[in-house]
Structure 1
Amino acid sequence: MINHIAPLRPEECEPVPDAGLGALVTERGNLPLESVDVTADVAGLAAGVQVTQGFRNPFDVSLEATYIFPLPDRAAVTAFRMEADGRVVEGVLKERGQARADYDQAISEGKRAAIAEEDRPDVFTIRVGNIVPGERVTVRLTLDQPLPYEDGAATFRFPLVVAPRYIPGAPLDGERAGDGWAPDTDAVPDASRITPPVLLPGFPNPVRLSLAATIDAAGLELREVRSSLHTVVREGDTVQLQPGERLDRDFILRLAFDASTSLSLVPDAEGEEGTFALTVVPPEAPATATPKDVVLVLDRSGSMTGWKMVAARRAAARIVDTLVTGDRFAVLSFDTVVEHPDRLGAGLAEASDRNRYRAVEHLARLEARGGTEMLQPLEQAIGLLGDSSRDRVLVLVTDGQVGNEDQILDRLGARLAGVRVHTVGIDRAVNAGFLSRLTGFGKGRCELVESEDQLDEAMENIHRRIGSPLVTDLSLKGDGLDLIPGATGHLGAIYPGVPLTVHGRYRGEPSGAAVLSGLDAAGRPWEQRVAGSRVGNPAVRSIWARARLRTLEDRYAAGDHSLEEEIIALSLRYGVLCRFTAFVAVDTHVVAEGGPEHKVVQPVEFPSGWQAPPAAPPMSLMAAPAAMPAAMPAPRAAFRPAAPGSAFMPPSPASAQAEAMGMPDLLLPMPEAGAPPYGTGGSVDWMEQEKGSVPPQERLDPFRERLAEELRRLRAAASLRTAERRRHLTDLGARLAELAALHGGHAELEALAEDLTSGDPAVDVDTLWQLAVHTLETLLRRDPPAGKRRPFWKR
Structure 2
Amino acid sequence: MITSITTLPPEECHPVPDAGLGALATERGNLPLESVDVTAAVSGLSAGVEVVQGFRNPHDVALEATYVFPLPDRAAVTAFRMEADGRVIEGVLKERGQARADYDQAISQGKRAAIAEEDRPDVFTMRVGNIVPGERVTVHLTLNQPLPYEDGAATFRFPLVVAPRYIPGTPLDGDRAGDGWASDTDAVPDASRVTPPVLLPGFPNPVRLSLAVSVDPAGLELREARSSLHVVQEEGTVIRLQPGERLDRDFILRLAFDASTSLALAPDGDDEGEGTFTLTVVPEPAPAGAGAKDVVLVLDRSGSMTGWKMVAARRAAARIVDTLTSGDRFAVLSFDTVVEYPEGLGEGLSEASDRNRYRAVEHLARLEARGGTEMLSPLERAAALLADSAGDRVLVLVTDGQVGNEDQILERTGAALAGVRVHTVGIDRAVNAGFLGRLAGLGGGRCELVESEDRLDEAMEHIHRRIGAPLVTDLSLKADGLDLVTETVSHVGSIYSGVPLTVLGRYRGAAAGALTVRGLGADGSPWERRVTASVVDNPAVRAIWARARLRALEDRYAAGDRSLEAEIVETSLRYGVLCRFTAFVAIDTQVVAEGGPGHRVIQPVELPSGWESPVAAAPMMLTSMAFGNAAPSPPPPMGPPGMAPPGAAPKFAASPAVGGISQEAAAGGFDDRARMLPRPVPAGAPPRGGAPQARPQDPPREQLAEELKRLRAAASLPAAERLRLLEDLGSRLAALAVYLGGHAELAALARELQAGGDVDTLWRRAEEVLESLAGSAKRRPFWKR
TM-score > 0.5, shorter chain as reference: yes
- Structure-2 residue corresponding to 1:747: none
AA aligned to 1:333 is S
- Structure-1 residue corresponding to 2:494: 493
1:43-99 Cα deviation digits (max 9, x unpaired): 000000000000000000000000000000000000000000000000000000000
Is the contact made by 2:28 and 2:59 (CA closer than 8 Å) also made in structure 1? no
AA aligned to 1:165 is R
For residues 618 and 514 of structure 2, the distance between their equivalents in structure 1, rounded to whole angstroms, comes to 64
- Structure-1 residue corresponding to 2:53: 53
SS of 1:402's partner is coil
1:503-544 Cα deviation digits (max 9, x unpaired): 111111110001111110001110100000000011000000
Is the contact made by 2:46 and 2:145 (CA closer than 8 Å) also made in structure 1? yes
- Structure-2 residue corresponding to 1:520: 521
SS of 2:782's partner is coil
Please state how far the C-alpha of 1:417 moved relative to its aligned partner: 1.6
State how 1:437-586 maps to structure 2 within 5 Å: 437-586=438-587
For residues 176 and 428 of structure 1, the distance between their equivalents in structure 2, rounded to whole angstroms, comes to 30
For residues 394 and 112 of structure 2, the distance between their equivalents in structure 1, rounded to whole angstroms, comes to 52
State how 1:191-210 maps to structure 2 within 5 Å: 191-210=191-210
Please state how far the C-alpha of 1:151 moved relative to its aligned partner: 1.2
Is the contact made by 1:169 and 1:654 (CA closer than 8 Å) also made in structure 2? no
- Structure-1 residue corresponding to 2:679: none
AA aligned to 1:792 is F
- Structure-2 residue corresponding to 1:426: 427
For residues 299 and 459 of structure 2, the distance between their equivalents in structure 1, rounded to whole angstroms, comes to 16
- Structure-2 residue corresponding to 1:306: 307
SS of 2:390's partner is coil
AA aligned to 1:120 is R
For residues 636 and 417 of structure 2, the distance between their equivalents in structure 1, rounded to whole angstroms, comes to 32
For residues 598 and 96 of structure 2, the distance between their equivalents in structure 1, rounded to whole angstroms, comes to 25
TM-score by length of 2: 0.79
SS of 2:589's partner is strand
Question: In structure 2, do the counterparts of structure 1 residues 410 and 282 end up closer, same or farther at CA, with 3 Å as the change threshold?
Answer: same
> Which consecutive unaligned segments of at least 5 residues does structure 2 have?
1-12, 623-629, 667-705, 707-774
For residues 782 and 411 of structure 2, the distance between their equivalents in structure 1, rounded to whole angstroms, comes to 17
- Structure-1 residue corresponding to 2:234: 234
For residues 83 and 466 of structure 2, the distance between their equivalents in structure 1, rounded to whole angstroms, comes to 47
For residues 616 and 316 of structure 2, the distance between their equivalents in structure 1, rounded to whole angstroms, comes to 32
For residues 276 and 442 of structure 2, the distance between their equivalents in structure 1, rounded to whole angstroms, comes to 24
Matched, 1:153 2:143: no
Please state how far the C-alpha of 1:220 moved relative to its aligned partner: 1.1
SS of 2:487's partner is coil
- Structure-1 residue corresponding to 2:784: 794
SS of 2:248's partner is coil
- Structure-2 residue corresponding to 1:278: 279
AA aligned to 1:207 is V
1:161-211 Cα deviation digits (max 9, x unpaired): 000000000000000000000000000000000000000110111000000
For residues 471 and 104 of structure 2, the distance between their equivalents in structure 1, rounded to whole angstroms, comes to 54
Is the contact made by 1:334 and 1:372 (CA closer than 8 Å) also made in structure 2? yes
For residues 615 and 301 of structure 1, the distance between their equivalents in structure 2, rounded to whole angstroms, comes to 17
For residues 641 and 50 of structure 2, the distance between their equivalents in structure 1, rounded to whole angstroms, comes to 41
For residues 412 and 438 of structure 1, the distance between their equivalents in structure 2, rounded to whole angstroms, comes to 10
- Structure-2 residue corresponding to 1:85: 85
Is the contact made by 1:650 and 1:666 (CA closer than 8 Å) also made in structure 2? no
Please state how far the C-alpha of 1:442 moved relative to its aligned partner: 2.5
1:468-487 Cα deviation digits (max 9, x unpaired): 11001111121111111121
For residues 776 and 500 of structure 2, the distance between their equivalents in structure 1, rounded to whole angstroms, comes to 50
Provide the aligned C-alpha RMSD in A. 2.9
For residues 14 and 593 of structure 1, the distance between their equivalents in structure 2, rounded to whole angstroms, comes to 38
- Structure-2 residue corresponding to 1:641: none
Question: In structure 2, do the counterparts of structure 1 residues 645 and 164 end up closer, same or farther at CA, with 3 Å as the change threshold?
Answer: farther
Please state how far the C-alpha of 1:380 moved relative to its aligned partner: 0.1
- Structure-1 residue corresponding to 2:5: none
AA aligned to 1:587 is D
Please state how far the C-alpha of 1:398 moved relative to its aligned partner: 0.1
- Structure-1 residue corresponding to 2:260: 260
Matched, 1:169 2:159: no
- Structure-1 residue corresponding to 2:111: 111
Matched, 1:217 2:207: no
Please state how far the C-alpha of 1:616 moved relative to its aligned partner: 8.0
For residues 111 and 507 of structure 2, the distance between their equivalents in structure 1, rounded to whole angstroms, comes to 44
Question: In structure 2, do the counterparts of structure 1 residues 605 and 164 end up closer, same or farther at CA, with 3 Å as the change threshold?
Answer: same
- What is the aligned residue count? 651
Question: In structure 2, do the counterparts of structure 1 residues 414 and 29 end up closer, same or farther at CA, with 3 Å as the change threshold?
Answer: same
Please state how far the C-alpha of 1:152 moved relative to its aligned partner: 1.0
Is the contact made by 2:265 and 2:533 (CA closer than 8 Å) also made in structure 1? yes
Question: In structure 2, do the counterparts of structure 1 residues 654 and 382 end up closer, same or farther at CA, with 3 Å as the change threshold?
Answer: farther
Please state how far the C-alpha of 1:275 moved relative to its aligned partner: 0.3
For residues 464 and 260 of structure 2, the distance between their equivalents in structure 1, rounded to whole angstroms, comes to 24
For residues 354 and 410 of structure 1, the distance between their equivalents in structure 2, rounded to whole angstroms, comes to 37
1:414-464 Cα deviation digits (max 9, x unpaired): 222210000000000000011111112222111000000000010011001
SS of 1:489's partner is coil
For residues 160 and 116 of structure 1, the distance between their equivalents in structure 2, rounded to whole angstroms, comes to 17
1:719-754 Cα deviation digits (max 9, x unpaired): xxxxxxxxxxxxxxxxxxxxxxxxxxxxxxxxxxxx
For residues 465 and 199 of structure 1, the distance between their equivalents in structure 2, rounded to whole angstroms, comes to 39
State how 1:343-742 maps to structure 2 within 5 Å: 343-614=344-615, 617-618=618-619, 656-657=642-643
Question: In structure 2, do the counterparts of structure 1 residues 54 and 288 end up closer, same or farther at CA, with 3 Å as the change threshold?
Answer: same
Please state how far the C-alpha of 1:617 moved relative to its aligned partner: 3.3
Please state how far the C-alpha of 1:30 moved relative to its aligned partner: 1.5
- Structure-1 residue corresponding to 2:677: none
Please state how far the C-alpha of 1:278 moved relative to its aligned partner: 0.7
SS of 1:570's partner is helix
SS of 1:545's partner is helix
Please state how far the C-alpha of 1:284 moved relative to its aligned partner: 3.1
SS of 1:415's partner is coil
For residues 643 and 151 of structure 2, the distance between their equivalents in structure 1, rounded to whole angstroms, comes to 46
1:558-606 Cα deviation digits (max 9, x unpaired): 1111100000000000000000000000000000011111100000000
> Which consecutive unaligned segments of at least 5 residues does structure 1 have?
1-9, 17-22, 623-643, 680-704, 706-784
1:681-707 Cα deviation digits (max 9, x unpaired): xxxxxxxxxxxxxxxxxxxxxxxx9xx
Is the contact made by 1:14 and 1:26 (CA closer than 8 Å) also made in structure 2? no
SS of 2:496's partner is coil
Is the contact made by 2:384 and 2:416 (CA closer than 8 Å) also made in structure 1? no
Question: In structure 2, do the counterparts of structure 1 residues 75 and 612 end up closer, same or farther at CA, with 3 Å as the change threshold?
Answer: same
AA aligned to 1:283 is E
Question: In structure 2, do the counterparts of structure 1 residues 534 and 573 end up closer, same or farther at CA, with 3 Å as the change threshold?
Answer: same
Matched, 1:340 2:341: yes
SS of 1:416's partner is coil
- Structure-1 residue corresponding to 2:3: none
AA aligned to 1:141 is L
For residues 376 and 611 of structure 1, the distance between their equivalents in structure 2, rounded to whole angstroms, comes to 26
For residues 786 and 179 of structure 1, the distance between their equivalents in structure 2, rounded to whole angstroms, comes to 30
SS of 2:512's partner is coil
Is the contact made by 2:183 and 2:634 (CA closer than 8 Å) also made in structure 1? no
For residues 70 and 641 of structure 2, the distance between their equivalents in structure 1, rounded to whole angstroms, comes to 27
For residues 480 and 24 of structure 2, the distance between their equivalents in structure 1, rounded to whole angstroms, comes to 62
Name the % identity.
77
Question: In structure 2, do the counterparts of structure 1 residues 421 and 171 end up closer, same or farther at CA, with 3 Å as the change threshold?
Answer: same
AA aligned to 1:184 is D
For residues 211 and 346 of structure 2, the distance between their equivalents in structure 1, rounded to whole angstroms, comes to 50
